[in-house]
Amino acid sequence: MALYHLIWDLGFLRLTPGNAALSPAGRAAAHGIAGSFLVLVGVSLVLARGRRSGWWRPYLARLGRIALAAGLISLATRWLFPDSWIFFGILHCIALSSVLALPALAAPLPVVALVAALVFAGPTLAALAGAPALLDAPGLLVLGLGATVPTTNDYVPLFPWFGFVLAGVGLGRLGLPRLAASSLGAWVPRDRVGRLATLAGRHSLAVYLVHQPLLLGLLYGVAALTGPHPRAGEAQFLREYRANCAEAGGGEGACRVAARCVLVRLRGEGLWRAGGDYKVEEQARAIAVSRTCFRDAGGG
């Protein structure tokens, strides 16, 4: 998780040529990390319920801490990123799922497995059935069954993600009794690395909340000293130029050649800036460069 956020931060602050966290591989990694979090939520619920008879008090205290942290993240991101604030991210999903999963702690395991499968399949089934526009209402976006994908920095709706929590409950109920009876279940960390990892695991919420502000603070300082990477924004510029070129009627090959030509010419004339922000005179020169490259590439 921390490594993924480091990669995202480097791209966000333009310290790398592109944002690898937003690539297909990066998105797959993000989904895998989120899925593992939620599976562990289910396993943890099984552990908490089986460890002691009066487990409600620590359960409610944990639930309160997570809900409070989720609310603080929403408030902070509403202030910092008003156009993409987090209204239902991983912590929101964990908090609500920790309540919804309670019946699964005692329900027959086949029923738990069936419900998990239905939750996983929920978005696909809704799309096939032609989900009503009502599901795209702001208050129902937490379900994840509508056609709208909201603009937010972290979106973990109940469908399909609650399915991972139910899967964790099922795995916990099946595997934890065997694990507890094994030698691995009796393992106790004795070296420094093991104790540090155990401490982080016991305070995972604090680690989650603290690591990203620390990383961003450190990297903001680096960005202020070094400036953006010389090639930052190139890949995004080339993609957007090719798309705009195609909309204007250019062929795929001509648009690809023209995009590269424009990038090289902008650099050569001192006009390249990731993100644009041109003055009026500079904008006119950049448009002229684009038209020349498009014409020379055979685009018209």
Q: In total, how many domains does the chain have?
A: 2
pLDDT digits (tens, 9 = 90+) for 97-144: 999 999 999 999 999 999 999 999 999 998 888 777 788 888 899 999
Of 71 and 50, the structure prediction assigns the larger pLDDT to: 71
Same domain, residue pair 213 and 239: no
Domain that holds residue 90: 2-226
Same domain, residue pair 180 and 261: no
Residue 28, token pair as written in the block: 């797959």
- How many other C-beta atoms can be found within 10 angstroms of the C-beta atom of residue 268? 10
Among candidate residues 226, 248, 273, the one where a domain is terminated? 226
Among candidate residues 209, 226, 243, the one where a domain is terminated? 226
61 band by pLDDT with thresholds 50, 70 and 90 = very high
Of 43 and 277, the structure prediction assigns the larger pLDDT to: 43
d(CA 171, CA 176): 8
Among candidate residues 226, 247, 267, the one where a domain is terminated? 226
| Surface-to-core class of residue 274, CB atoms within 10 Å of its CB (0-12 exposed, 13-18 middle, 19+ buried) | middle
Of 127 and 159, the structure prediction assigns the larger pLDDT to: 159
pLDDT digits (tens, 9 = 90+) for 75-104: 999 998 899 999 999 999 999 999 999 999
Q: Which amino acid is at 106?
A: A
228 with 21: CB under 8 angstroms?
no
286 with 278: CB under 8 angstroms?
yes
Same domain, residue pair 92 and 180: yes
Q: What is the pLDDT of residue 274?
A: 57
Residue 52 has pLDDT above 70, yes or no: no
Same domain, residue pair 23 and 150: yes
86 with 154: CB under 8 angstroms?
yes
Q: Which amino acid is at 196?
A: L
Q: Which residues, including other chains, have CB under 8 Å from residue 296's CB and lie 6 or more apart? A: 258, 261
Mean pLDDT of the chain: 89
pLDDT digits (tens, 9 = 90+) for 235-274: 888 888 888 888 877 888 888 898 899 888 888 887 776 5
Same domain, residue pair 210 and 238: no
Residue 276 has pLDDT above 60, yes or no: no
Same domain, residue pair 183 and 240: no
Q: What is the pLDDT of residue 51?
A: 63
Same domain, residue pair 137 and 279: no
> By mean pLDDT, which of 50-54, 104-108, 150-154 is the weakest?
50-54
Count helices and strands in the chain by DSSP H and E runs: 11, 0
pLDDT digits (tens, 9 = 90+) for 186-243: 788 889 988 998 898 888 999 999 999 999 999 999 999 998 888 888 888 888 888 8
Residue 9 has pLDDT above 60, yes or no: yes
Same domain, residue pair 245 and 194: no
Q: Which amino acid is at 172?
A: G
Q: What is the pLDDT of residue 283?
A: 79
Same domain, residue pair 64 and 27: yes
294 band by pLDDT with thresholds 50, 70 and 90 = confident
Tell me what the mean pLDDT of segment 16-20 comes to.
89
Q: What is the pLDDT of residue 278?
A: 66
The CA-based angle 135-88-2, given to 5 degrees, is 140
Length of the chain: 300
21 with 30: CB under 8 angstroms?
yes
Of 85 and 294, the structure prediction assigns the larger pLDDT to: 85
Of residues 40, 143, 202, the one with CA closest to residue 135: 143
Tell me what the mean pLDDT of segment 276-288 comes to.
76
Same domain, residue pair 139 and 238: no
Same domain, residue pair 288 and 144: no
Same domain, residue pair 131 and 186: yes
Within a 13 Å sphere around the CA of 272, how many CA atoms are in the beta-carbon half? 20
Tell me what the mean pLDDT of segment 15-42 comes to.
93
Of 184 and 161, the structure prediction assigns the larger pLDDT to: 161
